Chain A
Amino acid sequence: MLGFIIQRILQASVVMAVMSVIVFVGVYAIGNPVEIIIPPDATQEIRAEVIRRLGLDLPLWEQYFIFVANLVQGDFGRSFIYNVPVLELIAGRLPATLELVLISIVSATVLGVGLGIYAGYRPDSWISKTIMAVSVLGFSVPSFWVGLILILTFAVNLGWLPAGSRGQVVTVLGVEWSFLTLDGLSHILLPALNLAFFKLAMMIRLARAGTREIMLTDTIKFARAAGISEGRILRRHVLKLISIPIVTVFGLELGSTLAFAVVTETIFSWPGVGKLIIDSITVLDRPVMVAYLILIALLFVLINLTVDVVYALIDPRIRTRGA
């Protein structure tokens, strides 16, 4: 088990190294932030000064090594626009995004797996058909549109819930959280619903497809032949067997939910990392973009690592093979 984890960590480090090069070159090779940061009427001297200060006059590879050297020390550089350390900037926005993403994906998974198993178990019942219709909707309708409709319905027409911002927050462990206050919860409900909708559809589909396949296997037939009740077959056999794809997708979707948070945060003016990156892209704030991408890549690698380990915990076959 330990050898297995070490092997995965090594792989992850290689991936991170490659990612850092790709991201750096990708972001730095194209576009010129100087045009955006410096007013067009600035003098030649000011231009040169700014370029020198930002290190933009050095060759690309030298910029990269400075970047990596700083990175290792935890220094992601300073934002061109806000003129504060990027890490600080992102760390300040991260809790808002994390609470939104986690609430969304956890509720989507729990609900989606339950509904999906039912729909896969009774594919022809009208309840299943309704579930699947909802899932087709969730899968097809672009996330931003769901957000608009939620605002139009619950904020504009009904006036039940607020349409933006985090609401009242409490500070726990030095970080501000919305979900701990009633007002904060009312603010997080719509964006979380928005973000969860697509994931819900995805989980329903996955659980349904898995259940349908599993129900046809000899494992289930054999369990039925032994007289085991349908409820126990679903709870013990099916749930366990679909947990492997669910865990994988949960991991992958955690990352993509973070990505989709970009859209949701923009619509609901949720002050998280996603809104930050959109703003940074429009003004070509390179250090923020690079830091965001590197952190996202790191997150993906960590998620994949965790998924691999959880896999091994669920599936005894991998556990013994990897050791």
Chain B
Amino acid sequence: MTAVLEVRDLCTHFDTRDGVVKAVDGVSFTLHPGEIIGLVGESGSGKSVTGFSLLGLVDQPGRIVGGSIRLNGTELVGLSGKELRRRRGREIAMVFQDPIATLNPLLTIRQQMFMALEAHRRLSAEAMEARCVEMLQKVGLPEPAARLNAYPHQFSGGMRQRVAIAIALLHDPAVVVADEPTTALDVSIQSQILYEMRALAKQTGTAMIWISHDLATVSSLASRLLVMYAGRVVEEGPVARVLRDPRHPYTKGLIASLPATARPGAALVQIPGTTPSLLSLPPGCAFAPRCPHADPACQAEPPREQNAERMWRCHHPLNLAGAGA
């Protein structure tokens, strides 16, 4: 199966007055049609910037300084703004965290959906209307035809997010980047939307990158997991295997801090310390200051190790023997 999206050594840096922030520092992964991968990390780990880099939408003063992003075989890095725009929404789309902020409160759902359609296709009003109704139905919005004339504020948060998802999927993009799209919603709505997104991805063959700080959500949805720390992917692999025997101590810490994995009555385990400032990263492994396994060797750049289905960057990987890798 050929990859729909191939990211190699992506580097996105921000030139600030205090120095260069390497928000994304050498991220690589491959996405196949219909596949859902989860991108996990704490806030500031660079997962959202990775998502925006894929669409060429990094805010000033950030810019992609190196690497390659191949979407359906086309190199996106270095493409003109116009060429990028032609692909956004049609080949690669994005859903954001807060549906209240993403939709324009002063325009009707119809106006906003029509605008997204007209960005890439010339259709009659009837055809556009039909397409919008179809998409709204797919994302589970009741009475879609009547809802087209409504304004965003007349909807609940969950419904607004469905509308945003419908807009993102209007052109059946090959890849959807979902940046914490359920974080702002009620838990009950969250699982509904997760379920529907997975069904949609399967149905349309759309591949998805699901960005979240919540390991539990991602693991119920994705097939592969990428764990990011301080701008780098520190571990990658199939969800079940990464959860069962994490290689990187940071991944292990994330898993241990999940409420579901804790024994009842026992205190939740927390990773000691806080995310380091990207301006003053320690030499070598950025996680070393918080790592229980750290030793002087961690001052050196951790090697990138890889086998058929997993990747990790650590001087002292865990579970190597037990997993039989």
Contacts and interface: CB of A to CB of B under 8 A. Distances in A.
Given A223-B115, A225-B89, A227-B88, A317 B57 contact: no
A113 B107 CA distance: 20
10 contacts: A218-B98, A222-B103, A222-B167, A224-B55, A226-B89, A227-B85, A227-B86, A227-B116, A227-B119, A229-B119
B102 A222 contact: yes
Contacts of A244: 106
Given A222-B96, A320-B154, A229 B106 contact: no
Contacts of A7: none
Nearest to B60: A124
A225 B104 contact: no
A88 interface: no
A8 interface: no
A70 interface: no
Given A218-B96, A315-B106, A317-B153, A226 B119 contact: yes
Contact of A222 (B94, B105, B106, B170): B94
A241 B119 contact: no
A99 to B, nearest CB: 33
For chain A, which range describes its interface: under 10, 10 to 19, 20 to 34, or 35 or more residues? 20 to 34
A226 B103 contact: no
Interface in B95-154: 96-98, 101-107, 111, 115-116, 119-120, 151, 153-154
B88 to A, nearest CB: 4
A146 B106 CA distance: 38
B76 interface: no
B89 A228 contact: yes
B254 to A, nearest CB: 27
A217 interface: yes
Most B CB atoms within 10 A — which of A217, A218, A240, A241? A218
Contacts of B27: none
B101 A316 contact: no
Given A222-B164, A226-B119, A227-B120, A240 B89 contact: no
A224 B106 contact: no
Nearest to A319: B151
Contact of B153 (A222, A226, A229, A316): A316
For chain B, which range describes its interface: under 10, 10 to 19, 20 to 34, or 35 or more residues? 20 to 34
Contact of B106 (A227, A232, A240): A240
B168 interface: yes
Given A225-B168, A236-B111, 12 more contacts: A222-B102, A223-B116, A224-B85, A227-B88, A227-B89, A227-B119, A228-B89, A229-B85, A232-B115, A241-B104, A314-B106, A316-B154
B313 interface: no
Nearest to A221: B57
Interface string A226-256: 1111001000110011011000000000000
A254 to B, nearest CB: 23
Interface string B63-98: 000000000000000000000011111100110111
B167 A226 contact: yes
Contact of A219 (B52, B104, B154): B104
A31 to B, nearest CB: 50
